Structure 1
Amino acid sequence: MTEKLLWMHGAPYALGNADEDCPAITPYLVEGDNRPAVIVCPGGGYGTRAYHEGEPIAQWLNGLGISAFVLRYRVAPYQYPCALLDVQRAIRTVRFKAEQFRINSDQIGVLGFSAGGHLVSNAGTSYDKGNKEAEDVIEQVSCRPDLLVLCYPVITLQGPFAHEGSRDNLLGKGAELAQAEQLSSELNVTEDTPPTFIWHTSDDAAVPVENSLLFAAALSKHKVLFDLHVYAKGRHGLGLADDEEHTRSWTDACASWLAFQDFK
Structure 2
Amino acid sequence: MHVIVLPGGGYAEHAPHEAEPIVDWLSGLGVQASVFRYPLNARHPVPLHALRAEIRRRRASGADRIGLMGFSAGGHLAGLAALAPGNEAQEAVQFAVLGYAITSMETETYRPARLILLGEDAGPALRHSTSLDALVTPESPPFFVWHTAEDSYVPPEHTYRLAAALAAHNIPHAVHVFAHGPHSLGLAEGAGDVATWTTLAASWIRERASPWLRS
Q: Which TM-score applies when normalising by structure 2?
A: 0.94
- Of the three residues 206, 217, 223, the one matched with 2:170 is 223
Deviations 1:89-121 (A, max 9, x none): 1111101111xxxx4x1x210010000000011
Residue number in structure 1 paired with 2:100: 152
Tell me, what secondary structure is at the counterpart of 2:180? coil
Point out where structure 1 has 5 or more consecutive residues left out of the alignment. 1-35, 131-140
SS in 1 for 2:196: helix
CA-CA distance at 1:128 after TM superposition: 4.5
User: Larger relative CO (CA 8 A, sep 6+): 1 or 2?
Assistant: 2
1:174 aligns with 2:138: no
Alpha-carbon deviations, 1:28-51, whole Å to 9, x = none? xxxxxxxx2100000000111111
- Give the secondary-structure state (helix, strand or coil) at the position aligned to 1:72: coil
RMSD of the alignment, in Å?
Answer: 1.2
Partner of residue 158 from structure 2, selected from 211, 214, 229? 211
Query: Sequence identity of aligned pairs in percent?
Result: 38
1:2-41 deviation digits (Å, cap 9, x = unpaired): xxxxxxxxxxxxxxxxxxxxxxxxxxxxxxxxxx210000
CA distance in structure 2 between the partners assigned to 1:127 and 1:148 by the alignment: 16
3-state DSSP class of the match of 1:246?
helix
Contact 1:163–1:206 (CA under 8 A) maintained in structure 2: yes
Per-residue deviation at 1:254? 0.2
Of 42, 66, 86, which aligns to 2:31? 66
Q: 1:75 aligns to what?
A: 40
Decide whether the 8 Å contact of 1:125 with 1:189 is kept in 2: yes
SS at match of 2:209: coil
C-alpha spacing 1:129/1:82, structure 2 compared with 1 (3 Å): closer
Within a 5 Å distance, the mapping from 1:82-97 to structure 2 comes to: 82-97=46-61
- Whose helix proportion is higher, 1 or 2? 2
Question: Which segments of 5 or more consecutive residues in structure 2 lack a partner in the other structure?
Answer: none
* Distance apart, 1:159 and its partner CA: 2.8
Q: 1:233 aligns with which of 173, 176, 180?
A: 180
Give the number of the structure whose alpha-carbon radius of gyration is greater. 1
Partner of 1:252: 199
2:52 partner letter: Q
Deviation at 1:55, TM superposition (A): 0.3
1:52 maps to what in 2?
17
Q: Which residue of 1 aligns with 2:7?
A: 42
Given that 1:128 and 1:142 are in contact with CA atoms closer than 8 Å, whether structure 2 keeps it comes out as: no
**Whole-Å separation in 2 of the counterparts to 1:86 and 1:243:** 34
2:144 aligns to what? 197
Asked if 2 retains the 8 angstrom alpha-carbon contact of 1:202 and 1:231, the reply is: yes
Residue equivalent to 1:119 = 77
Provide the C-alpha distance between the structure 2 equivalents of 1:202 and 1:220, rounded to a whole number of angstroms.
Answer: 20
Distance (Å, rounded) in 2 between the aligned partners of 1:245 and 1:129: 39
1:197-254 residue CA offsets vs partner (Å, 9 max, x unmatched) = 0000011000010101110110110100000011001000000001202111000000
Q: Runs in 1 of length 4+ with deviation above 2 angstroms?
A: 127-130
**Structure 1 residue 185 and structure 2 residue 132: aligned?**
yes
